[in-house]
Structure 1
Amino acid sequence: MSSKAIDITLMGRTYSIACPVGQETALRQVSQHLDIQLSTLKAKTNSLSREEIAIMAALNIGYELLEEQQKNQNYNKQMDDKIGLLQSTIEDALVERSAKVD
């Protein structure tokens, strides 16, 4: 897969980042989200260095990702449980029907 460089801006600095062709929009959306996180943290804590702000933003975004993964796992478990119940109901109905036919 080929890539091309696109420019993104974070905290007023522009970076040229290699990006797979077709993924430019996604990278720009991610960089905008990150820039908002960085700017918010910078506004709240003027005493932190760029590195410390980047670490805090990474931790915040990592936490958001973890929460979404846990929600997804819970949803998957609920769906697995519902599918299991549906399969059991269908199997019971088929057994009952088979018993009536015999």
Structure 2
Amino acid sequence: MSINAVDITLMGRSYSIACPAGQEKALRLVAHNIEQQLTQLKGRTNSLSREDLLVMAALNIGHELLTEKQKNQDYMQQMDQRILLLQSTLEQALVERSDRAD
């Protein structure tokens, strides 16, 4: 797999980031979202340093990720329960059908 360098800018600073081929668009989108968060944070808390803003943005993004992972986990549990119910219903229907055929 080849790696490409992608140039992004965050808070006026340019970074060259190694990125797997084909993932450049996703990296740029992530950088854009981070830049938006940083801009919003800076607008709300003008007194924070660049490093403090980056830490706050990282914590916000980490919280969003944790929330989405929890939602995904909850969804997977619901699907597992539905699948088990469906399996049970099908097994019961097959047993009933078998009993009627005898």
**TM-score band, normalised by the shorter chain?**
over 0.9
What does the per-residue CA deviation read over 1:57-98, in whole Å, with 9 as the maximum and x for residues that have no partner? 000000000111111111111111111111000000111111
Paired letter, 1:101 = A
Secondary structure of the structure 2 residue equivalent to 1:46: coil
CA distance in 2, matches of 1:24, 1:51: 25
What's the counterpart of residue 5 of structure 1?
5
TM-score by structure 1 length?
A: 0.96
CA distance in 1, matches of 2:87, 2:64: 35
CA distance in 2, matches of 1:18, 1:78: 38
Secondary structure of the structure 2 residue equivalent to 1:53: helix
Paired letter, 2:44 = K
Secondary structure of the structure 1 residue equivalent to 2:22: coil
Displacement of 1:101 in angstroms is 1.4
Runs of 4+ in structure 1 off by over 3 angstroms are none
- Percent identity among equivalent residues? 66
Where do 1:37-48 residues align within 5 Å?
A: 37-48=37-48
CA distance in 2, matches of 1:16, 1:96: 65
CA distance in 2, matches of 1:70, 1:4: 33
TM-score by structure 2 length?
A: 0.96
Instruction: Name the count of aligned residue pairs.
Output: 102
In the alignment, structure 1 residue 71 sits paired with structure 2 residue 71: yes
Displacement of 1:18 in angstroms is 1.1
**Gaps in structure 1 of 5+ consecutive residues:** none
Displacement of 1:43 in angstroms is 1.2
CA distance in 1, matches of 2:10, 2:68: 24
**Gaps in structure 2 of 5+ consecutive residues:** none
